[in-house]
Every structure is written in C-alpha cells, then in structure tokens.
Amino acid sequence: MLVAAHSHTAAGIEIALDEGADSIEHATGMTPGQFGRLADGRIPVAPTLLINDVLAAGGAGVRPDAQRKAAAIIAGRAPVLRAAGDAGVRFVLGTDANGRFVRHGGQLDELRRMSEAFGWTASRALVAATADAAAAIGMGDSLGRVAPGFAPDLVIVRGRPWLDLAALTTDSIVAVICRGRLVAGAVPR
C-alpha cells in the first residue's frame, strides 16, 4: 500500500522520509538538505498551492488562525519550491480539493499555479498532472498517457492547453471519456 505523508514542516518531511513514505503532500517547509533525498528517491511532492492561497486570502469559513498559518506558508514557499524543482524534486498535481475552499475542478487552477511557480511550459505542467501523477500512485504503467495498453481516460477541450494553460478551463471541456466510454459531452467530429 502506498503511503502519502501530509506535512508542511521540515521535521515532518524528515520523519516521512525516514519512515519510507511514498509521496509528500505540501512540503512547503522542505530544506535544501532534503532536496537530494526527495530527488534521488524519486519521491513525488504534491505542493497544493491553491488551498493555501485561498486560506491566506481569508473570507467566509476561514478561521483567523488558518488564515495566518496559510499566509506564513505562502510568504516563503516560492523560492523553496523553485529551488527544489531545480534540484530535481519531482512535483505532481494535487489539490486538497474538498468542495469547500478548493472546488472540484480546481485542479486546473492548481496546474496553472504550478506552471508559474516552477517556470514550467504548459506541456511540462500537463505531464505533472497526467503521467507523473499516475506514476506517483503506482499506476504509471496503465494511466496518464495516450498509448496502446493504457486506460483510455480523456478530457477533450477546446483550444491547445499543451501550448497555453489558460485554455484549460471547465468551460472549455467538451467531452469526458472514462475507460473508453463517453460519460459527458460529445466528441467533436
């Protein structure tokens, strides 16, 4: 069974690494000394940027202590995450979507934030959301790519999101195919 550890702090990340966690959620407090262990172990990190942005902005339902913690996290995360990415840490898409603070469908916003945070091209960001994310959950040999033998799960959208992630919105989705079966929308002819 794969284990995903949830930690913002360097101490929590260290425990997760020592105990053999398969992936880390958040990891905003990772240190340069941990970059090598994460990169060498190919341990994926889901940075979940959007949830902290939403909490730091405050608003309905956000407790003041949660707002302060999130604001502190986002104040220092950009250089750490960029340095970790430059050091070879493997980042994958993850959202903490709960339908309340991060709506379902928010993964598209998360993907755009990841692209900005890491200086990725749109196509590189899409790999983090598809093939890399599938590999992170142990399903890289059957999900996350369009290839023979892979599950035909597709989202068909208007535009060219592999060139510009701004084209990737819920409004641009025209069809959803799950396991080769059309489950929503219509396939354009």
Please indicate, yes or no, whether residues 38 and 127 belong to a single structural domain of this protein.
yes
**The domain containing residue 40 runs over which residues?**
4-141
Please indicate, yes or no, whether residues 9 and 29 belong to a single structural domain of this protein.
yes
- pTM for the model stands at 0.86
Q: How many domains does the chain have?
A: 2
Please indicate, yes or no, whether residues 84 and 120 belong to a single structural domain of this protein.
yes
Whether pLDDT at 101 is above 80? no
Whether pLDDT at 99 is above 70? no
Please indicate, yes or no, whether residues 182 and 121 belong to a single structural domain of this protein.
no
Please indicate, yes or no, whether residues 161 and 136 belong to a single structural domain of this protein.
no
Whether pLDDT at 100 is above 80? no
Per-residue pLDDT, averaged over 58-82, amounts to: 90
- Is residue 102 very low, low, confident or very high in pLDDT (cuts 50, 70, 90)? confident
Least confident residue range of 21-35, 120-134, 138-152:
138-152
For 151-172, write each residue's pLDDT tens digit: 888 899 999 999 999 988 889 9
112 phi and psi angles, rounded to 5 deg? -65, -40
* pLDDT (0 to 100) of residue 59: 80
Averaged confidence pLDDT in the chain: 91
> Residues near 46 by Cβ (< 8 Å), separated by ≥ 6?
4, 23, 24, 25, 26, 91, 92, 93, 94, 95, 136
Percent of the chain with pLDDT over 90: 63
Please indicate, yes or no, whether residues 16 and 78 belong to a single structural domain of this protein.
yes
On whether the CB atoms of residues 58 and 79 are closer than 8 A, the answer is no
Asked if the structure places residue 147 within a domain, the reply is no
Dihedral sign for Cα atoms in the order 134, 137, 140, 141: negative
